[in-house]
């Protein structure tokens, strides 16, 4: 005997570009959208009965229809409008998960002024995600998240790593001064009520998280990437009321002193080589409230489908 | 206030190549290893106290030491040896997760004979994963998984998609004959006792899953990729006793008939173009036993860190 | 003043899948096609005069039309048919360059027999390229090339590197026994008359080059990757009459002994780690005839647009 | 018989990070360096004679030694110092080609002030390249280039494509208003004397090319990407005296109106989908002086090893 004990399906990399052309000034929303549906689809798998099966092509069409019919100014807002459409329209769906990766387009500056319709890409991406159940928990509200993906940071001072656990296979020297380099992937959970709040709040949250993340990275005297993660997350949940928790996944992108001694040259902590592999990775979730008995809301690896979805 | 509600850390892309040189015939094991540890690490984050912190560099060294001291013939066997080492050696660890991606090296054939020490890469990767708790569930056994990653399949007949749900945004035509193309990512859970069984069983399981997956793909008259997934999974759990469940994530890599009518040419179902985006993705877990009350064992998205770890 | 001193344009990643359905047995041709045109296009750039400009969208359509109207069995054959179409149809073109990357689909074996219409991907790609001038050199024949891209090879014995040049910054130890690992990118130039020869010759050439490349890699006692390259290339031009020259680009994918001495363990030449960066790269062209006075025909870096085109 | 008609070898992805720590303010130079050498290396290939062979490992060491011993402030300056070292030190070298890809680190702003040692990555990369012959042309000067790689641009108005050549396979509609999106890869050739000029000139050139490229992209009423390329290039060579010529390779990253008519919705030029494949690509070189009789200096495909080297 064989049982289908779990299933889901959907569409990935639905690439949407929406231009808003108000008042001679264009706004660009460039999203890569991922949709995953769960519901009464067992017989599609087990009996070859396609009756309940919503084609993934229909999901794609729905993205463009909702984009054209909805006013939105944030990926969070669009994710919510889209998940609502799926839940409202298709009775066989129990849960819709929408993950969005947004390219960041910055206006080109011409003669000191931001151009009305020309843009250069900005480093890093903005993400949003919603888990929208037909009668989902959290007081009936869908779970809405924002995020930062792929923001690379580097500091050449203010980071050390000492006093760690040693065993017979530990060869890492302690250092009070090292290069700290990472790529921030973070996802934060909004308070339940935020899904119905004005969208400007999401833009504001993103900017504040970005500001806190980069500033804490720069100024925190770091005893470990773990401690820097907690410092970032603490300030986020303490200062941004609509964020309940934030998860980070941050690789430790090692830069190693090149051995110049063998050539009679003193390195003076100036010449390094970067490595891609192996790399450390640090995960953590920081919340305004203690953890509930159950699993943490997001999970501590922030490199989820929202990160992957940005392909 | 801020609380650390979840945390983990580790090392990724530890690249190990082990050559076994018995009897003039070399065996190659080329692994990319990912380690994630959970345990009493809160103060590393919250207080900058590195006392319990095992450097990720030590984790890396441990991979090579265990590889040199252990006889193993499968990624499953090595994963188990490695997780056991972490649990035994470090009291602060509650759970070690090891994910391995293995390159597949096939002997070059010279004059009709497999060469003793020269290899050409084979398509697709083999994966293994273990979740090893200090006193973990499953009767105290660690949870051990095998997997296939990145195996691309294509068929030009024997696949249709009809009778699906339609709404006003459905434009997909029904078809009784289409190209079916996918990339198999699968992970299977071994029975609890398998972790202590001879390693040959893992090699045998891998070969059988590969044989079933490709044969069912070829011969199943497919009404949907979902149904093909279930057919594959059912045969796996029915015919391989040490496998308790198997999860698949399979993209639907669309090939679309190119419109030649406008040039006065009849396509005759011969000329297609492939697309990368968007793509459908089908997930499902098939088990020998009905699902327990709790979450499914693996989760239905088989593209986990074992897939990612293969970088 | 400003002058347009060089120009070209075209279309990349035109993805073509052609199914030939003769006699219940399907053949699959899956190509990624790149087209670059040169000709009388200066005014498109300098005056905004689009009159001579062939839209790249038309180039794309042409790929599918030629694929539907032409019988071909090799990427070389299709490249030639396509370049001929461009030269014949558009008087403003002086030169058409077509680069093709072909996926290798191998029949799935079911019950010991190759399946008529189901395939699993094979490692490595086959490439073809043509440079077709309106009155091009080489006796008026277009220059036609075949190629192998992305074929990864590994040997655990039979390779050393000694007696090399040393200066004060040389720290590499000599070794009589090392791992040799590379990824073969090669391109070969066919004799001028080959473009009009039966297509089977191209398939035969590909198989012979693959056989020679892998066998020489396996059996050549390698004093350097350079010498192995020359041994491969020499046998190719000596044994395959329709090939006039062959270029290789082969990275030296270093595998480094892991230092286990510090843990009191003898490595015994068994435990290595692979690195991605930096890597050596060895280029060379081997020809049946001495080099002409002018530049070599292909150039010695075989990782050209044919390699890139395979995206 | 077989002849080695061309050869070269070198090292890629030598990753260098140099920190300059003057006056409490750190400067970061993060380069990926590629070295290709040509010279008297034939016997390495043809006779297995390694006597003249400079190990690529030595090339790597040389990068770090030169970085530590040389004051430089630009990738152009470092490329020149490095190629000079190779030419001076190794008599068997006839030509050294150095390609550098530089990550762009922007200071994190804290409390309105740029931080002295913390950085966030900036979009796009800066490149440099030198071809340094022992007695090379160009009046004995090495050929030095600068470049921009991977700078993505997008405009939602001010671009059309009309009046182009039509044949029976042309289906592209004319449009007076389309999205224009591209990724700029450009390389420029400095005047012969620039190699000995102060390095500030290179930084200034880069900033001016970036300003011209983005401004012309934004403001040029584009009849084609070709014409925009020429407008960019013309202004570069007319306004930056040390630049003799500039080459661009720019993909046309198509954004296609999504068909909403079938759902009774008017698109109003707002809802698009982006595609990765196929894509157009436009190449061109713009020079201050008419082309010499020989081939253009750089070639018109600006996506060379400097672009690739940034891996």
CA distance D299 to B32: 40
Active site residues of B: 11, 56, 254
**Cα–Cα dist B270/B267, whole Å:** 6
Q: What's the rounded mean pLDDT across residues D67-71? A: 97
**CB-based contact, D153 to chain A, within 8 Å:** yes
Interface contact C262, partner A, CB < 8 A:
yes
Catalytic residue set of A: 11, 56, 254
Identify the pLDDT of residue A197.
79
Residue A263 forms contact with C (CB below 8 Å): yes
> Using the beta-carbon criterion (under 8 Å), do C68 and B156 form an inter-chain contact?
no
**pLDDT band at residue D6 under the 50/70/90 scheme:** very high
Q: B108 at the C interface (CB within 8 A)? A: yes
**Chain C CB within 8 Å of residue A167 CB:** no
Pick from A263, A275, A277: CB nearest C168: A263
pLDDT higher than 80, residue C311? no
What pLDDT is recorded for position D304?
57
> For residue range B171-192, what is the model confidence (pLDDT) as tens digits?
999 999 999 999 999 999 999 8
The pLDDT of residue C304 is 57
Instruction: Tell me which chain D residues have a C-beta less than 8 angstroms from the C-beta of A30.
Output: 154, 274
Q: Given this model, what pLDDT does residue C83 score?
A: 97
| Chain B CB contacts of D171 below 8 Å | 262
Whether B151 and C120 lie within 8 Å, measured CB to CB: yes
Partner C contacted by B58 (CB < 8 A):
no
Kindly determine whether residue D224 and residue C53, on different chains, have CB atoms separated by under 8 Å: yes
What pLDDT sits at residue B145? 97
pLDDT per residue as tens digits for the range B244-287:
999 999 999 999 999 999 999 999 999 999 999 999 999 999 99
pLDDT in tens, D162-200: 999 999 999 999 999 999 999 999 999 999 888 777 888
pLDDT band at D219; cut points 50, 70, 90:
very high
Nearest one of A17, A16, A21, A15 to A117, comparing CA atoms: A21
Q: Give the mean model confidence (pLDDT) for residues B35-64.
A: 98
pLDDT mean across residues, chain A: 93
CB contacts, 8 Å: B285 with chain A: 4-7
Global pTM reads 0.95
B227 touches chain A (CB under 8 A): yes
Residues 198-217 of A with CB under 8 A from D: 214-215, 217
> What is the average per-residue pLDDT within B199-214?
96
D305, pLDDT greater than 50: no
Q: Locate the chain C residue with the closest alpha carbon to D275.
A: C13
| CB contact (8 A) between residue D108 and residue A30 | no
CB pairs under 8 A between A and D: 173
> Is some CB atom of chain C closer than 8 A to the CB atom of B3?
no
Give the pLDDT confidence score for residue C22 in this predicted structure. 82
Q: How many CB pairs under 8 A join C and D?
A: 281
Residue with the larger pLDDT of the pair C194 and B257: B257
- Cβ D284–C45 below 8 Å, yes or no? yes
Q: Which run of H or of E encompasses A213?
A: helix A200-219
Share of chain C above pLDDT 70, in %: 93
Whether the predicted pLDDT of D52 surpasses 60: yes
Is residue C305's pLDDT more than 60? no
Interface touch B218/C118, C-beta < 8 Å: yes
Which chain A residues are closer than 8 Å to D69 by Cβ?
265
- Among residues D37, D40, D9, which one has the least CA distance to residue D132? D37
B16 touches chain C (CB under 8 A): yes
Q: Does A164 touch chain D (CB under 8 A)?
A: no
pLDDT at B194: 82
Say if C41 is an interface residue toward chain D (CB within 8 Å): yes
Q: Tally C-beta pairs within 8 A across B and D.
A: 11
Tell me the shortest Cα–Cα distance from D260 to chain C, in angstroms: 22
Tens of pLDDT, residues D128-165: 999 999 975 545 679 999 999 999 999 999 999 999 99
C80-91 pLDDT per residue, tens: 999 999 999 999
Tell me if B1 and A288 make a contact (CB, 8 A cut-off): yes
Rounded to the nearest angstrom, the minimum Cα separation between C101 and chain B is 14
Interface residue C289 vs chain A (CB under 8 A): no
Give me the pLDDT at residue C299, please: 52
Percent of chain A with pLDDT over 90: 86
Please indicate whether, in this complex, the C-beta atoms of D64 and A260 are within 8 angstroms of each other.
yes
Q: What's the CA gap between C123 and C15, in Å, rounded?
A: 19
User: What residue spans of chain D are helical by DSSP H?
Assistant: 42-46, 56-69, 75-89, 200-219, 225-239, 305-308
The reply to whether C256 touches chain B by the CB within 8 Å rule is no
Chain B interface test: which of C11, C101, C211, C272 (most B C-beta within 10 Å) = C272
Q: Do D115 and A218 touch (CB under 8 A)?
A: yes
Q: Is the pLDDT of residue B24 over 90?
A: no
Express each pLDDT in C113-155 by its tens digit.
999 999 999 999 999 999 999 875 545 679 999 999 999 999 9
Average of per-residue pLDDT across D72-90: 97
Nearest chain D Cα distance for residue C248, angstroms? 9
Which of A48, A165, A245 is closest, CB to CB, to B224?
A48
Confidence of residue A78 (pLDDT cuts 50, 70, 90): very high
pLDDT, tens digit, 9 for 90 and up, residues D233-276: 999 999 999 999 999 999 999 999 999 999 999 999 999 999 99
Q: Is D294 on the interface with C (CB under 8 A)?
A: no
What pLDDT score does C116 carry? 97
Measured in angstroms, the CA of B276 and the nearest CA of chain D are apart by 8
Q: What was the ipTM of the complex prediction?
A: 0.94
Active site residues per annotation of C = 11, 56, 254
**In chain A, what residues touch D26 (CB-CB under 8 Å)?**
156-157
Contact partners of A by the rule of 3+ C-beta pairs under 8 A? B, C, D
Whether residue C123 and residue B122 make contact (CB cut-off 8 A), yes or no, is: yes
Most confident segment among B195-199, C24-28, C150-154, D302-306: C150-154
pLDDT digits (tens, 9 = 90+) for A143-169: 999 999 999 999 999 999 999 999 999
Q: Please tell me which of the candidates D18, D158, D263 has its beta carbon nearest to residue A65.
A: D263
Quick one: pLDDT band at residue D50, thresholds 50, 70, 90?
Answer: very high
Name the most confidently modeled range: A231-240, B291-300, D14-23.
A231-240
C13 vs D contacts (CB less than 8 Å): 276-279
The minimal CB distance from B276 to the residues D171, D262, D276 is found for: D276
Q: Is C122 exposed, middle or buried (0-12, 13-18, 19+ CB in 10 A)?
A: middle
CB proximity D50 to C under 8 Å: yes
Structure tokens at B209: 């899953």
Mean pLDDT over A112-133 rounds to 97
Secondary structure string (H, E, C) spanning chain B: CCEEEEEEEEEEEEEEEEEECHHHCCEEEEEEEEEEEEECCHHHHHCCCCCCCCCHHHHHHHHHHHHHHCCCCCHHHHHHHHHHHHHHHCCCEEEEEEEEEECCEEEEEECCEEEEEEEEECCCEEEEEEEEECCCCHHHCCEEEEEEEEEEEEECCCECECCCCCCCCCCCCCECCCCEEEEEEEEEEECHHHHHCCCHHHHHHHHHHHHHHHHHHHHCCECCHHHHHHHHHHHHHHHCCCEEEEEEEEEECCEEECCCHHHCCCCCCCEEEECCCCEEEEEEEEECCCCCCCCCCCCCCCCCHHHHCCC
Token reading at A96: 């819709």
Q: 3-class secondary structure for chain C?
A: CCEEEEEEEEEEEEEEEEEECHHHCCEEEEEEEEEEEEECCHHHHHCCCCCCCCCHHHHHHHHHHHHHHCCCCCHHHHHHHHHHHHHHHCCCEEEEEEEEEECCEEEEEECCEEEEEEEEECCCEEEEEEEEECCCCHHHCCEEEEEEEEEEEEECCCECECCCCCCCCCCCCCECCCCEEEEEEEEEEECHHHHHCCCHHHHHHHHHHHHHHHHHHHHCCECCHHHHHHHHHHHHHHHCCCEEEEEEEEEECCEEECCCHHHCCCCCCCEEEECCCCEEEEEEEEECCCCCCCCCCCCCCCCCHHHHCCC
Confidence of residue D299 (pLDDT cuts 50, 70, 90): low
């Amino acid at each position: 005997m064989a049982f289908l004990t779990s299933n889901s399906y959907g569409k990935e990399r639905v690439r949407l570009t929406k231009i808003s052309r108000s008042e001679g000034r264009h706004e660009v929303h460039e999203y890569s959208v991922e949709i995953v549906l769960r519901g009464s689809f067992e017989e599609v798998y087990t009996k070859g009965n396609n009756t309940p099966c919503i084609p993934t092509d229909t999901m794609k069409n729905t993205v463009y229809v909702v984009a054209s019919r909805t006013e939105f100014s944030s990926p969070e807002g669009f994710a919510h409008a889209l998940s609502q459409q799926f839940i409202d329209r298709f009775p066989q769906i129990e849960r819709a998960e929408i993950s969005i990766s947004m390219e960041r387009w910055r206006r080109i500056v011409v003669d000191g002024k931001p151009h009305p319709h020309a843009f250069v890409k900005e480093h890093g991406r903005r993400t949003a995600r919603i888990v929208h159940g037909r009668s989902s928990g959290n007081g009936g509200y869908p779970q809405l998240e924002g995020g930062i993906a792929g923001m690379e940071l580097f500091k050449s001072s203010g980071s050390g790593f000492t006093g760690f656990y040693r065993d017979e296979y530990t060869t890492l020297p302690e250092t009070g001064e090292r290069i700290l380099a990472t790529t921030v992937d973070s996802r934060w959970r909004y308070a339940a009520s935020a899904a119905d709040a004005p969208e400007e709040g999401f833009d504001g949250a993103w900017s504040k998280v970005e500001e806190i993340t980069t500033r804490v990275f720069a100024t925190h005297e770091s005893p470990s990437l773990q401690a820097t993660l907690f410092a970032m997350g603490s300030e986020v949940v303490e200062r941004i009321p609509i964020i309940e928790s934030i998860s980070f996944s941050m690789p430790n992108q090692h830069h190693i002193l090149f051995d110049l001694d063998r050539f009679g040259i003193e390195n003076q902590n100036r010449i390094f080589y970067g490595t891609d592999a192996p790399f450390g990775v640090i995960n953590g979730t920081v919340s305004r409230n203690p953890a509930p008995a159950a699993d943490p809301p997001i999970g501590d690896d922030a490199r989820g489908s929202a990160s992957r979805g940005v392909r």
